[in-house]
Amino acid sequence: MTPAATAPAQDSGAPRVALLACGALAKETLEVVQRRGWKMEVHGISAFDHLDPPKIAVDVDRKLAELTKRYDKVVVVYGDCGTGGALDKVLEKYPAVRPAGVHCYQWFLQEEPQDIVDNRTGTYFLTDWLIKNWDIAVIKGLGLDRTPWLKEKYFGNLTDVLYLRQSAKPDPVIEDKAREIAAYMELPIVIKDTGVTPLEALLVPLVEGD
């Protein structure tokens, strides 16, 4: 994602703040920026790093080294995202913060990580980005286009699909794709409309706080 200026430069004298978002959350982050009237840029990193989680920390480190030369603080819109704490170690090197949490779906679901572990062990979570990029990120990313018999290995222990719909205006095409994915997994699906309010609630204190 290319940096997206949402308004003129921040007022002189005010802390210079930028957001660095996972590509899977860039659209939602930009929506929050516009809703709040924040005069700042949103920078992005490819969401496909999730196919190789150690790359997340490496790419965030590289980007923060660049951005912190220009900004007083960078809000990093990531969970731990499978980095095993490596991402937080990167953030310790910079004037950078991120919302607490393990994964972005935890933010939108608004449940504690342990509750998710205890109550949703067999749930497969879908977000708008993952649905739109399902064929590339999952089918091709896991090699299921070449070895379809591995589907049972990947999804055989799942019990249900939960689509966390962030869009304020539901798209029937995306909803149909979500149902198609659930049918491919041979699982029931539930759709939970979250909007971007949970993400906004997490970002406001990080952006507007001291």
Q: What is the CATH number of the domain that holds 74?
A: 3.40.50.2300
Residues 96 and 125 in one domain: no
Residues 13 and 87 in one domain: yes
Residues 91 and 129 in one domain: no
Residues 203 and 172 in one domain: no
Other C-beta atoms within 10 Å of 92: how many? Answer: 7
Residues 147 and 184 in one domain: yes
Cα distances (Å, whole numbers) of residue 140 to 48, 102, 145, 147: 12, 25, 6, 10
Residues 84 and 122 in one domain: no
What number of helices (H) and strands (E) belong to the chain? 10, 8
pTM recorded for the entire structure? 0.86
What string of pLDDT tens digits covers the 210 residues of the chain? 444 444 444 455 566 999 999 999 999 999 999 999 999 999 999 999 998 999 999 999 999 999 999 999 999 999 999 999 999 999 999 999 999 888 888 888 876 655 666 677 889 999 999 999 999 999 999 999 999 999 999 999 999 999 999 987 889 999 999 999 999 999 999 999 999 999 999 999 999 986
Residues 200 and 188 in one domain: no
Residues 145 and 128 in one domain: yes
Residues 99 and 9 in one domain: yes
Residues 182 and 94 in one domain: no
- Strand 123-127 with 160-165, pairing: parallel
In which element (H, E) is residue 168 found?
none
Give the integer Cα–Cα distance in Å for 77 and 74. 9
Domain that holds residue 121: 111-193
Within 13 A of 192's CA, how many CA atoms are on the CB side? Answer: 16
Residues 134 and 66 in one domain: no
DSSP, res 140? I
Other C-beta atoms within 10 Å of 75: how many? Answer: 22
Residues 15 and 88 in one domain: yes
User: What is the number of structural domains in the chain?
Assistant: 2
Give the integer Cα–Cα distance in Å for 181 and 134. 8
Backbone phi, then psi, for 106, in 5-degree steps?
-65, -40
